Structure 1
Amino acid sequence: MEKQMDRCNSCITLPDDAKEEFIVFVEGDELYASMLSAISKAQHSIQLETYIFAYDQIGKAFVSALAERARNGVQVRVLLDAVGSSRWSSQQLIKALRQSGVELHWFHTWSWQHPLRYNCRDHRKLLVVDSKVAFLGGFNIHKENSKNLYGDSRWRDTHIRFTGVKANEASQLFDLFWSGHLREVVSQPATGSQLLHNHTLACRHRLRCEYASVFEQAKRTVYITTPYFVPDSYTINEIIKTSNRGVDVKLLVPRKSDVRVALWASRSLYAPMLASGIEIYEFLPRILHAKTVVIDKTWTIIGTANLDYRSFFINYELSMVSANRHLSETLEEQFFHDISEAEMVPSGIWFRRDLRSRLAGVVASCLKRWL
């Protein structure tokens, strides 16, 4: 069952067995409590990397926990994206972290010498404690994910906790990215879950390769959850071909989004997918930000990557591809819970939508490479 992708030699193999233990989080308050608990127990090192770190009630709790460990001699390194976090961050956050001994780096701040790199962002969300416990997924650090603070409008997201060898490998990946060693790779066994990153210069298209491979190998079901569905034509064709082979393909996307143009661009892709029999659902209650794919109740991809140009070709991402049966079953169960709160897009009505909606989709699709 283990198959090597034929697109490029640097892509990883799909795992055929996975014995790791995962904990799945779909509520921010539970995730943040677990992360803060892990931080409070750190003895040697804390590595935190995130796209958004807001200096709100949630962010302040993390600052306090990180600062306390740093003052007690733990090496604490925090890597924040300069675009994702600068909007919410303040000098108070920077001061509180650095005065306590936390090493704080900003990823790709603006530079007149290298303006184009500003478009490339660090979209990864990773916490590793003592190289033994790790958290990975779609959750940023902000109150929008907290039911206690944001109520029923909180964002719907997914994160995982894992330990052992995979946590150590995640720590090594953080170290390589922190130090800028983009040509080096972390050795991973061919079996078991594997961390899927795209920070090596050898293969920046690795994510697209991996998604295409699992779509090709699917035999029964493919269930996709993504907040921004604006992939390239090759990926779209792979998904459609999968459906045409008789595989049950379902796609869950948000009805409302924090990036409205991306929503319009996504809807411009519905027609050929609906025509091929793919079921598309729009999540109704709140903003959907989870990024998961479940294949044949056997394989799972979960992490920070969206199915869009930015994740596939521009941003730095980190996901887990796993053949862990319990993880796959848990995420498939969550998928069906989510579509119970979603509305299926009817193909007949969609093909008769008004001219204004069609034009919005055309205009947005022209911008899909930059969304």
Structure 2
Amino acid sequence: MIEYIKHNYWSILLTLNYIIAASAAITILLKNINPTKTLSYIIVLIFFPFLGLVVYYLFGQEYRKNKIFNRKNVLNQSIIKSIQEDFKFDEKEIQKVDNYLDEKVKLVNLLYSSDNSPLTLHNDIEILKDGNIKFPKLIQDLESAKHHIHLEYYIIKDDKIGTEILNILCEKAKEDIEVRLTYDDVGSNISAVMKRKLTDNGVEYYPFMPVLFSRFTGKMNYRNHRKIAIIDGVIAYVGGINIEDEYLNDESKNHFWRDTHVRIVGEAVKSLQIYFFTTWDFVSNQKFQIEKVYFPDTECTKNVALQIAASGPDTDWANIMEAMFTAIATAEEYIYITTPYFVPNDEIITALVIAAKSGLDVKLIIPKKSDSKIVKHATNSYLDKLLEAGAKVYRYKKGFIHAKTMVVDDIFSTVGTANMDYRSFNINFEVNAFIYDKETSKILKQHFLDDLQDCEAVDYEDYLQRSRYKKIKESVCRLWSPLI
């Protein structure tokens, strides 16, 4: 038997390959996806033994259907059902919203039907333009906590700013304040000494999907890319700014990091609290009873309409991507987008091209210097259609732009953790605030226009003249878009 295997190992491997390939091909056919995609995958599986299986494993699987954790443990609890019931509008309230949101009501209905994301009306929000503005406010709110602190971050490092915040968590835990922290095990780096300090002081903390060698773990893993802070169920933060020194601007070191976060007081905090508990239920495996004290009644008198939407492999729909698509498709005047990673899907590119060809003012800000060469080259491959359609693309020169924002028609805007790329739309766990408010839109619009002063426009004629070598690099990098 061993001798037979030795002399026929190649035939055996090839047979196993085609058995697995046949199974994969049947799976692809049953998905009823785009015929061109289906045919492409089947051709690769047949004519490229072994390599075809690798390509299918990396690119062809439906990430959204691979449920990472079950949200029912949280969503079925009576307090959560009660809160969701309270958010349901009657006909008069819907009409009131309809009167000033116009076409954006489609967006409200989309998020509610696909992710049960309620539209909250009583909110006060503050746009935070960078880490130098966010961190002092967050620290002040953490120090003022009276009942609980909940943090959920992709990156937490115990560098200078991280240590300051983690020390505050320890002090608050010693005051019998409930402190819960969850961090992504690939993105974060907390020393054993700091972890021991957190434990000794009563801070509950858990990594999200821990890995053995985080530094060498590829981005194929499902990662929790969210950045959420909740204080006493009254104040919440969400946006692009992680807890790390890199997110602080330092003129003495010529370091500038342009980012955007939002501080929320009001009803929308309850939605973020629910999302936090679904993650906490998974990472801690604690099936505890959620109490009303985590969802206090709001005393907010401001009226900013706001939805919190999350997406990830645990959701049935690509909620954030679909919301962005709808916002673009229903735009009437302008669409201003800022994103550090622009590796979109066909739906978003088509929507932007149609908007630009229809005469809308479509502008996109991306970094001039990316923190990933592969992303930079892949992004360049997507600009052709946009520029040809009349959209304007700008590269940010002042530093690294990490803000993830979109403003449409002076009425709609979004700030969150989702990049405009494949990973954020399909693989990572993300959360965005969708804001329907003229004043907020004007602020974010002005931030966008201010950022244009630190940008250089991409000239379409120059873009077309780039070398064949660059075009090949861009096309090759584009193939890797699901992984970057």
Give the letter aligned to residue 45 of structure 1: H
CA displacement at 1:120 relative to structure 2:
0.5
Tell me: CA distance 1:202–1:261, structure 2 relative to 1, closer, same or farther (3 Å): closer
**Rounded Cα–Cα distance in structure 1 between residues aligned with 2:130 and 2:202:** 31
More displaced 10-residue stretch of structure 1: 255-264 or 332-341: 255-264
Paired position in structure 1 for 2:263: 161
Q: Does 1:229 align with 2:331?
A: no
Corresponding residue SS for 1:3: helix
Corresponding residue SS for 2:451: helix
**Rounded Cα–Cα distance in structure 2 between residues aligned with 1:25 and 1:63:** 21
Query: Gaps (5+ residues) in structure 1?
Result: 182-190
Paired position in structure 2 for 1:98: 199
1:204/1:313 contact within 8 Å kept: no
2:117/2:308 contact within 8 Å kept: no
Q: Does 1:43 align with 2:146?
A: yes
1:70/1:101 contact within 8 Å kept: yes
Q: Does 1:344 align with 2:457?
A: yes
CA-to-aligned-CA distance 1:174-210 (integer Å, 9 cap, x gap): 11221139xxxxxxxxx92000111573424111111
CA displacement at 1:95 relative to structure 2:
1.5
**Rounded Cα–Cα distance in structure 1 between residues aligned with 2:405 and 2:318:** 18
| Mapping for residues 286-305 of structure 1, pairs under 5 Å | 286-305=399-418
Taking only aligned residues, the RMSD between alpha carbons, in angstroms, comes to 2.5
TM-score by length of 1: 0.91
TM-score by length of 2: 0.70
Aligned residues: 358
| Mapping for residues 205-244 of structure 1, pairs under 5 Å | 205-244=318-357
Q: Does 1:131 align with 2:233?
A: yes
Paired position in structure 1 for 2:187: 84
Paired position in structure 1 for 2:374: 261
Give the letter aligned to residue 96 of structure 1: K
1:282/1:343 contact within 8 Å kept: yes
Displaced runs of 4+ in structure 1, greater than 2 A? 4-9, 11-15, 17-20, 115-118, 147-152, 199-204
Paired position in structure 2 for 1:110: 211
**Rounded Cα–Cα distance in structure 2 between residues aligned with 1:150 and 1:208:** 39
* Aligned equivalent of 1:24, options 123, 127, 142: 127
CA-to-aligned-CA distance 1:213-266 (integer Å, 9 cap, x gap): 101110000000000000111211111111122211000000011122111110
Tell me: CA distance 1:68–1:263, structure 2 relative to 1, closer, same or farther (3 Å): same
**Rounded Cα–Cα distance in structure 2 between residues aligned with 1:245 and 1:11:** 31
Corresponding residue SS for 2:183: strand
Paired position in structure 2 for 1:366: 479
Paired position in structure 2 for 1:57: 160
CA-to-aligned-CA distance 1:95-144 (integer Å, 9 cap, x gap): 121211111110111279xx999610000001000000011110011111
Query: Gaps (5+ residues) in structure 2?
Result: 1-101, 284-303
CA displacement at 1:357 relative to structure 2:
1.6
CA-to-aligned-CA distance 1:142-199 (integer Å, 9 cap, x gap): 1112124874313110001011211122112211221139xxxxxxxxx920001115
Corresponding residue SS for 1:193: strand
**Rounded Cα–Cα distance in structure 2 between residues aligned with 1:22 and 1:7:** 20
Give the letter aligned to residue 296 of structure 1: D
2:337/2:407 contact within 8 Å kept: yes
Larger RCO: 1 or 2 (CA < 8 Å, sep 6+): 1
Paired position in structure 2 for 1:184: none
* Aligned equivalent of 1:247, options 350, 354, 360: 360
Give the letter aligned to residue 240 of structure 1: V
Give the letter aligned to residue 162 of structure 1: I
Give the letter aligned to residue 161 of structure 2: I
Tell me: CA distance 1:127–1:8, structure 2 relative to 1, closer, same or farther (3 Å): closer
CA displacement at 1:358 relative to structure 2:
1.1
* Aligned equivalent of 1:75, options 174, 178, 203: 178
Tell me which structure has the larger Cα radius of gyration: 2
Structure with the larger helix share: 2
